[in-house]
Structure formats: C-alpha cells, structure tokens
Amino acid sequence: MTYDDLIGKTMLAGITYMRGDEVEESVQLFGTVISADDEEIAVELADGKVWTLPPDLSAVQPAQKGIYRLKSTGEEIEDPDFTSVWTCYLNDQK
C-alpha cells in the first residue's frame, strides 16, 4: 500500500487517548482521505473539518465489508475502504 492508494478513499479511524493506564478519551471518526504523504494523512469529515493522522501506513488496514457504528454518535458507515487504530499516550509535563 502507498499513500496514493488512500487518496479519495473512505477512512474509519479510532483514537484512544491514555493517561497512564487509564483511558482519558476515545474518538471515532470517518471521512475521505484528501491528502497523504510522509508528513500526515488528512481526512476530511462530513462537516468539513479535517483531522490529521500520523503517516504510518502500517496502522492502516483495508476494512472488512459491513456496517460500522460510531459509539459516540451512533452514526453508521457502510463498507469504508480503510480502518486505522491509534493509541496516544498523554503526559502532564509542560
């Protein structure tokens, strides 16, 4: 898979923010990949906002066919092209 393979495709991403061993927040989002390169993967959501993800293709997988429901909003997406799962570790250092 290359960055170019993602352009124009639908991405479903799950991001979990951890503080120590505790889940601070979980975010699910989906949209269309509008750009992807060795700096970032940019996903445009239905409301026009753009989320950026790290440029790590090993975290991007072809999605299995089916209906996916976002836990936070109840929105459903059918047959996205790709999925991506991320865990971000927060710290309190300033």
Indicate the pLDDT class of residue 93, thresholds 50, 70 and 90.
low
Give tens-digit pLDDT for 23-61: 889 999 999 999 999 999 999 999 999 999 999 999 999
What is the topology classification, in CATH, of domain 3-89?
A: SH3 type barrels. (2.30.30)
Q: Provide the residue ranges of all domains of the chain, joining segments of one domain with +.
A: 3-89
CA distance 19 to 54: 19
